[in-house]
DNA sequence: GGTAGTGTTGATACAATATCTCAATATATG
DNA sequence: CATATATTGAGATATTGTATCAACACTACC
């Protein structure tokens, strides 16, 4: 098994209670509305929108106010437990982060795989030398079709 | 001079009349509002927002309605003459595309360099083999400070 | 147990980005 | 010129998100 595959398997999303724990460690209270958002995000198991979180919760009659959902998503992004997804058309999706930066996203169903070995170091070094820029961050997202959607 | 540097120098943004020509070739009329947007985008010479286009044009008393600016930006994105920039915080900036996908952006002043040799082929092949996904698109943006902003 | 201080919530107002609607206008074609 | 089509501008609407603020909940202290 290659090193890259091992890494990917290590990047499974954390379960809700683990995310809750990290929130508590960061000094935030693990309230019912926040837990609800965590449960929804874990259950959706893909790149989700705030609207999708709300729908999932409404169907189970446990949706907090929409403001609290937005607030919780923002908080979790700040804590780097969630991450904004840069889509091809819009950037209104989020994922459970796992602390890693990059995603492979199915444009058909939203299924998402995370990875962290983006292999951009050489490109960054080259560009820095050629442009004089100091590069300290990047966005990388890959899009395609997951095996399931390829067979449908 | 390396091959990569040559490529970058070839990726200078097209002048307004050239963009207008491509619009005409695609079957769209080159109207005054559309030309105004092209001029503003070329003049701004960086990753710009629709609001910045409008401001530039208002200062010269030649701003079309905001709806037409949005429409023109969308049209130019569809024609791949403009391209949406995926920023670290939001995704509301655009650039003149040159038909190429990637940018190096100064987070301080918005200065922008484009390049097309992203060197992701190996990563994409590896990920396809390991995940079974078919990857057919990607977003890559690099962020840092340009030489000018580094000295200030 | 009561009280003060802090954090959180939910409803609502607001903001920013973008699209839709539709009558008026401009442009191209016969 | 007449007609058909494309485009515009104004304003309404949609979507995504943040700000405000009173009510509530939890914690620590007395």
List, in order, residues 6 or more apart from B137 with CB less than 8 Å away. Answer: A88, A107, A142, A143, A144
For every one of its 152 residues, what pLDDT tens digit does chain A have, with 9 covering 90 and above? 444 444 444 456 678 889 999 999 999 999 999 999 999 999 999 999 999 999 999 999 999 999 999 999 999 999 999 999 999 888 999 999 877 679 999 998 889 998 888 889 999 999 999 999 999 999 999 999 999 999 98
- Predicted pLDDT at A116: 83
Interface residue B66 vs chain A (CB under 8 A):
no
- Using CA atoms, how far apart are residues B73 and B82, in angstroms rounded to an integer? 7
- Using CA atoms, how far apart are residues B144 and B28, in angstroms rounded to an integer? 37
> Which residues in chain B touch residue A139, judged by CB atoms under 8 angstroms apart?
86, 88, 139-141, 143
Cβ of B17 < 7 Å from strand C? no
CA distances from A61 to A54, A55, A69, B13 (A): 10, 10, 14, 52
Determine the protein residue whose CA lies at the shortest distance from the C1' of D6. B29
- The alpha-carbon gap from A141 to the nearest alpha carbon of chain B, in Å, equals 5
Cβ of B134 < 7 Å from strand C? no
Interface residue B14 vs chain A (CB under 8 A):
no
Partner-chain contact A147 B126, CB within 8 Å: no
Cβ of B31 < 7 Å from strand D? yes
What's the Å distance between residue A93 CA and nucleotide D20 C1'? 27
What's the Å distance between residue B10 CA and nucleotide C7 C1'? 55
Half-sphere exposure of A16 (CA within 13 A, CB side): 16
Measuring CA to CA, which residue among A105, A85, A45, A92 is closest to residue B136? A105
Tell me the domains of chain B and their CATH numbers: 3-151 (1.10.10.10)
What's the Å distance between residue A152 CA and nucleotide D18 C1'? 41
- Predicted pLDDT at A60: 95
What's the Å distance between residue A109 CA and nucleotide C22 C1'? 36
Strand D bases within 7 angstroms of protein beta carbons: 6-12, 15-20, 26
Determine the protein residue whose CA lies at the shortest distance from the C1' of C11. A65
Locate the chain B residue with the closest alpha carbon to A136: B144
Ranges of chain B with pLDDT below 50: 1-10
- Predicted pLDDT at B7: 44
């Amino acid at each position: 098994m290659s090193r890259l595959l091992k890494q990917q398997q290590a990047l499974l999303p954390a379960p809700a209670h683990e995310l809750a724990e990290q929130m508590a460690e960061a000094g935030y209270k693990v309230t019912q509305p926040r837990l609800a958002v965590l449960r929804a995000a874990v259950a959706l198991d893909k790149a989700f929108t705030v609207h999708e979180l709300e729908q999932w919760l409404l169907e189970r009659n446990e949706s907090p106010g929409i403001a609290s959902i937005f607030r919780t998503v923002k908080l979790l992004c700040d804590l780097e437990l969630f991450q904004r997804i840069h889509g091809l058309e819009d950037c209104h999706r989020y994922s459970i982060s796992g602390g890693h930066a990059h995603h492979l996203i199915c444009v058909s169903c939203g299924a998402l795989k995370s990875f962290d070995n983006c292999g951009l170091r050489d490109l960054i070094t080259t560009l820095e030398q050629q442009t004089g820029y100091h590069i300290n961050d990047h966005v990388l997202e890959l899009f395609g079709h997951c095996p399931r959607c390829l067979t449908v």
